[in-house]
Structure 1
Amino acid sequence: MAKNKTAYVCNECGSDYSKWQGQCSDCGTWNSLTEVKLGPTPSNRGEKFSGYAGNAGADTDVQTLAQIDLQALPRFSSGAGEFDRVLGGGLVPGSVVLIGGNPGAGKSTLLLQTMCYLAGTMEALYCTGEESLQQVAMRAQRLNLPTDKLKTLSETSVEALVATAQKLKPKVMVVDSIQVMHMADIQSAPGSVSQVRESAAYLTRFAKQTGTVLMLVGHVTKDGSLAGPKVLEHMIDCSILLDGGHDSRFRTLRGNKNRFGAVNELGVFAMTEQGLREVSNPSAIFLQRADEISAGSVVMVVWEGTRPLLVEIQALVDDSHVGNPRRVAVGLDQNRLSMLLAVLHRHGGVLIGDQDVFVNVVGGVKVMETSADLALLLAVVSSFRDRPLGYDLMVFGEVGLSGEIRPVPSGQERLREAAKHGFKRAIVPAGNAPREPVEGIKIVAVKTLQEALAAIE
C-alpha cells in the first residue's frame, strides 16, 4: 500500500515545508506549522466553468489595453450607498469580495439585506454553511425583507456548491463562511490552512471565469485580523472589515484592499430592529457633544477615503500614583502618542512626564492618519491646564519632531466640512491656509507648535 505523503504548512503565512520545524523561516512565527496530508492531484482543478453569457474568462486572445472593452463590466449598486462607497462605486462582475468582522458585528445581516435587494433584479444565490436555512429565513422575516426571489442553499462542499451554481447561473453569490467550506480531495479539517486556501482558489477561479460576483464571509482572530492564510487576502479583489462594539449601535465598514477603487474608504451603518441602516452624514453622529464643553475636548477633521469626517477627540491628564505613568490611546496609535508628548515637552515647554495621559476618539472611530496630531496635543494641554477650548473650535494638522506644523492633504475640503457644521474657528497648518476666506469660519494659520499653543491662550 502506498504511503500517504504529508507536508507541513504554516498557519500564519501558508508556507509549505517537507518536514516539521519549530520556526517558520518565511514569517518567523514559532510553533505555527501543522501537518497536512496530501491527496492525489485532482483532475478538475483546472476545469473551465462555462455556460454564462458574458463569460469573463472565455476570451483568451492576447489584447492591448486599448482594445479591452471596459463597458463589458459595468458596476451595479448593492442597494446601500455606504456599501457602494467602500466598494469603490458598486459591485463589479467577476470580482471577489471578502468581508470580515467580529462575531455579532452584522456581516450576515448586511449580506442578507444586499442579496434580497439584488434578487429582485437578477439571479442571486445565498449559500450558508454555518446556519440552517430556517435560521436565515427567520432573520429575513424579522428584518421584513422580501423573501420570494432570493435562492438559498445550505452546503459546505465546494464542489457541490459550484455544481449548483453552474445550474442556476447566478450573477451574485454569497458564501457564509469560507472557514467552513471544504474540498473532498484535501485531507484536512475545514478551516485549516489548506482547506481555506484551496477552497478560496477554487471559488475565485469560478467567479473569474463566469463573471459572477462572489462575496465571502471570513472569520477574524483575537487581534482583529482575518483568519486563515495570508494568501487568502492576495487572492481576493476587495477586503472589507465590519467593525463595531456590542455596546454601540453604529458599525463602520472599512476597505483594506480594493482593486476597483480607493482603499481606506469608510462606510457607517446603524444597527436597528430593521437591520443595518446607512448613515449618510456620519459627522453629525460623532459630534453629539454636551451643551457645555469640558477641558480636554476638541473636534478634528480626518480624511476617510474620499470624504472628510468630523470626530471629537478627548484627553484626560491626571496625576500619576505609580512610578511609570500610563499612556493609553483608544482609536489612535499609542506609540505616536508617546512621540507627540515628547515633542510637546521639547518644543512646547509643557512637562507632563509625571502625569497619566488617556486619549480617546469618540464614537469608536480609528484614526489612521497624522492629521490628528495637533488636535491631540491641544486636547492634552487643555486637560492639563483645565481650560476648555471652546465649542466652535476645529483643529487639524501634522506635528513634526522639530515642532513644526506640517500641512495635510485636502485642507480646503476639511474647512468646508467644518463650516457646514457650524464651526466658527479653525487652527490649521500655514500650508493649508486658503487663499480666499471660507465663509463663516475664522482661520488661524500656524507654523510651529508654540504658535498653536499661543492661539488657545
Structure 2
Amino acid sequence: MAKAQRSFVCQTCGAVYPKWAGRCEDCGAWNSIVEEASTRNTTAAAGGKAQGRRLDLVSLEGRMAPPPRLPSGIEELDRVLGGGIVPGAVLLIGGDPGIGKSTLMLQAAAALADGGREVVYVSGEESVDQIRLRALRLGLAGSPVRLASATSVGDILATVDHAKAPALVIVDSIQTMWVDGLEQAPGTVTQLRAAAQGLIRFAKDRGSALMLIGHVTKDGQIAGPRVLEHMVDAVLYFEGERGHQFRILRAVKNRFGPANEIGVFEMADAGLVPVPNPSALFLADREDGVAGAAVFAGMEGSRPLLVEIQALVAPSGLATPRRAVVGWDGNRLAMLLAVLEARCGLVMSTRDVYLNVAGGLRVQEPAADLAVAAAIVSSELGRPAPRASVFFGEVGLAGEVRAVGHIEARLKEARKLGFERAVMPRTGKDRPAGLAGDELARLADLVGLMGGGPLQRPRKLAG
C-alpha cells in the first residue's frame, strides 16, 4: 500500500534528499531544494519480494524494418529528425523565448494536417484566439489543425486517448502541464515527471507522435530535471540570436537518426523558411581582403557547412586582457592563445582578443582550431588571410596540426562555393579538381603562410 511521505527534491536535477539543504550536492544549484509529497512502496522498502511476470528473453539476431516516417512537410525539420517523424516517437523541443519554437511547430502541424493527417495542438500558455492570430499571420488559417487551450494532462488524455488517436499531438509547453492528485505546482520536478510519463505512455500505446515544447533556463538548458530528456526519444534545441535572421535547429539526442544534425531556417514574415544551402547564406556578407577573418569548413552532423570566423586582436590596457567569445568555446580559445604564444612567438598575453562566429551559429568541433588561429594571426599581423581559402584542422598543445574527419565532404563543399584553396592538416589524399591546398604539420607554418601580402599594421613578435 502506498504511503504519503515528505521528501525534498532539487528542482534543477531531480535529486531527492531526506531533509532540506541550501545547496544540491549533485548539481551544485543553490536554493533549488523544495519539499514535496511523495509516495513510497512500503513493501519494497521493508525488503519484501516484488511480484512480477517472467520476461521472455530473445537473442540479438533478427530482422527489423526501419521505422516508418511521416514527412513533416518541412525539409530541414525532416533532416534533423533523420528523415521524418516516427509514429509513437516523443520529441522535446527547447529554445529561448521568442526564438520560434511555437511558430515551427504550428507550421509542421499545418503541413501534416494539409496532408490528411489528424493533428492536435494543445497550448497551456496561449488561448485559442492567440494561436489563430499566429496562424493567420503565417498564412495557415485554412489548415485543418485541431486546437485546444488546456493545462490538465487528464483533460488532454481524455480528448486524444482513443482508438482513432491523432497522428501528431503537440503540447506547448510541458512546464505548464499538471496532473490531478499532486500537490505541487506546475513546473516542479514531480509534476513534470508525472505529466511527461502520462503523455509518453499515451504516445507509445496509441502510436501517436508527440512533440513537447520546453522552456529553457538562463544557461540554455531545458528547464526541469534531466530525467525529462532521458524519457523522450529525441531532444532538439533551437539556437540563434534574436538579432540574427538565422535559426539553427540541432538534434542533441535522437534514437531514430544521427545526433548533432542541424537544420537551418531563416526568420521571415511568413514564419521560419528552410534554408537549403546554408553555407552560401552564412557567407553572403563576407568581404575579401579584410584582416581578422577566415572561413571555416566545418561539419554539422552529416552536413558540410562553411562559416566565417572573425577575430579582433588589440593592445590591452588591463592587467588581465579581455577575452570575449561568441559562438565558440572560451576555454578552447584560451588554450589556442597559449599555443600561439608558446609555440609560434606571437605575444598574446598583452592583447585583448574578441572572437565571433558570424551568423549566430555555435561551432563545437575541434576542427575549427586552425580557422580560429588563422583569424587571430591575421588580425595580429594585420594581413588578410589568403584569398578564396578555407581552413580546418585540430591544433594540439605541442603546436602540431592534427587530422580531422570528413575531409572529402569539406573540400567538395568549398569547391562548390567557389573557393580555390584549402589550408588543412597533412592527409595525403587527393583534392577536388580546381582546389589547391596547403598541408600544414605545425601551427608555426600557419604564421609563415600568413606572412604574404601588404601589411595593414606592423607585425609584433616576441623577442
TM-score by length of 1: 0.91
Q: Give the C-alpha shift of residue 31 in structure 1.
A: 2.6
Deviates more, 1:392-401 or 1:146-155: 146-155
Aligned to 1:262: 258
Alignment of 1:225 onto 2:221: yes
Alignment of 1:414 onto 2:415: no
Per-residue displacement from partner, 1:211-243 (whole Å, max 9, x unpaired)?
110000000011111001111011011000112
Alignment of 1:378 onto 2:374: yes
Per-residue displacement from partner, 1:270-307 (whole Å, max 9, x unpaired)?
11111111000000111023444311111011110001
Alignment of 1:159 onto 2:168: no
The amino acid across from 1:113 in the alignment is Q
In structure 1, how many angstroms separate the alpha carbons of the residues matched to 2:30 and 2:58?
46
In structure 2, how many angstroms separate the alpha carbons of the residues matched to 1:325 and 1:223?
25
SS in 2 for 1:337: helix
Alignment of 1:83 onto 2:77: yes
In structure 1, how many angstroms separate the alpha carbons of the residues matched to 2:390 and 2:99?
31
The amino acid across from 1:26 in the alignment is D
Q: Give the C-alpha shift of residue 25 in structure 1.
A: 3.7
Number of aligned residue pairs:
434
SS in 1 for 2:413: helix
In structure 1, how many angstroms separate the alpha carbons of the residues matched to 2:396 and 2:79?
32
Aligned to 1:150: 145
Deviates more, 1:336-345 or 1:166-175: 166-175
Q: Which runs of 5+ in 2 are unaligned?
A: 42-54, 452-463
Q: Give the C-alpha shift of residue 21 in structure 1.
A: 2.6
SS in 2 for 1:336: helix
SS in 2 for 1:270: strand
Contact 2:312 2:376 in 1 (8 A): yes
The amino acid across from 2:295 in the alignment is V
Identity %: 47
Q: 1:294 to 1:141 in 2, by over 3 A?
A: same
The amino acid across from 1:130 in the alignment is E
Contact 1:128 1:177 in 2 (8 A): yes
In structure 1, how many angstroms separate the alpha carbons of the residues matched to 2:285 and 2:22?
53
Q: 1:68 to 1:205 in 2, by over 3 A?
A: farther
Per-residue displacement from partner, 1:170-219 (whole Å, max 9, x unpaired)?
01110010011000111111111111111011111111111110000000
Alignment of 1:96 onto 2:90: yes
SS in 2 for 1:119: helix
Aligned to 2:14: 14
Q: Cα RMSD (Å) of the superposition?
A: 1.9
Q: 1:413 to 1:30 in 2, by over 3 A?
A: same
Deviates more, 1:238-247 or 1:4-13: 4-13
Aligned to 1:138: 133
In structure 2, how many angstroms separate the alpha carbons of the residues matched to 1:304 and 1:391?
25
- Of residues 445, 452, 455, the one that matches 2:449 is 455
In structure 1, how many angstroms separate the alpha carbons of the residues matched to 2:390 and 2:39?
62
Alignment of 1:445 onto 2:439: yes
Contact 2:367 2:394 in 1 (8 A): yes
Contact 1:39 1:185 in 2 (8 A): no
Q: Which runs of 5+ in 1 are unaligned?
A: 42-59
Q: Give the C-alpha shift of residue 97 in structure 1.
A: 0.2
TM-score by length of 2: 0.90
The amino acid across from 1:341 in the alignment is L
Q: Give the C-alpha shift of residue 251 in structure 1.
A: 0.7
Q: 1:203 to 1:68 in 2, by over 3 A?
A: farther
Per-residue displacement from partner, 1:10-45 (whole Å, max 9, x unpaired)?
11211223322333343343332101134799xxxx
SS in 2 for 1:182: coil
Contact 2:87 2:208 in 1 (8 A): yes
In structure 2, how many angstroms separate the alpha carbons of the residues matched to 1:25 and 1:244?
32
SS in 1 for 2:131: helix
In structure 2, how many angstroms separate the alpha carbons of the residues matched to 1:381 and 1:338?
14
The amino acid across from 1:304 in the alignment is E
SS in 1 for 2:83: coil
Aligned to 2:280: 284
Q: Give the C-alpha shift of residue 76 in structure 1.
A: 1.6
Alignment of 1:322 onto 2:299: no
